[in-house]
Amino acid sequence: MKLVYKGHPPVQIDKGKFTVLATNNRKTYFELIRGLQGFNDRLTILDDDYQDLDPEKAIDWDGDLVANNNLATIYSTEIVKSIIKNLTEEDRHLLDAEARRLYSNVQEILFMTDLPLEVRYDGDIKRLLNYCKIKFSPLVQQSPYDITDLKLHLECADSSCVGLSNVANYLDSAQFNELQQLNIELKIPVLLIEFTEIDNRRYYGNANFYYIDRDFVDWKL
């Protein structure tokens, strides 16, 4: 996959690899972020044969995970689907039996109202799980490393690229390198948009590093 920012060379994004597009140019940074949010036409996403891709499907843009820590809300549908997919028959029967018991108790209470009220369980386990309001443990959300690690794992069943920003602001170099090693196994394409100086290149380790300086000059380091 390739990200093309108008007027600049393509940025190659590969599975299992972190790709960094960094800049110290405020206008460039703003245009990149807003483009990935879908608010301008400065960015184009291409496949390896240079065919256009739908940006919303190609890149899952989450931006700053610490500032926008709402993964459970964003991915609630995907999480429930994953849980249902991995349920055993025994699990399904157990949930079904407990749900029917609950509905039966509610119906008994309704009989006491002396009104023609009734409830019926339709066997929809998805609706049942949504009712449970599944969320991540607060302990996970207290650590920026754990949030980012969790995000990568959530994307394992997704073919889109993970798009993040400001990672260097809350992960130290050791944590960043650990995530890079993890991602070699997960094989997720990851794009980082960073506002930083070119001298900070070393922080990003083995990531593919592209840079646009204040004078709009491109660097590949």
Sheet holding 2-5, edge to edge: 11-12, 2-5, 43-46
Query: Domain map of the chain by residue range?
Result: 2-64+158-220, 77-131
Two tokens, residue 120? 């019926």
> Is-above-0.75 flag for pTM?
yes
CA angle 201, 211, 155 (to 5 degrees): 80
Let me know if domain 2-64+158-220 sits in CATH 3.40.50.11940. yes
pLDDT tens digits in sequence order for the chain, 221 residues long: 999 999 999 999 999 999 999 999 999 999 999 999 999 999 999 999 999 999 888 998 989 888 876 666 777 777 888 889 889 999 999 999 999 999 999 999 999 998 999 999 999 999 999 888 887 777 777 777 767 776 767 766 677 899 999 999 989 999 999 999 989 988 889 999 999 999 999 999 999 999 999 999 999 98
**What H or E segment, with its residue span, contains residue 190?**
strand 190-195
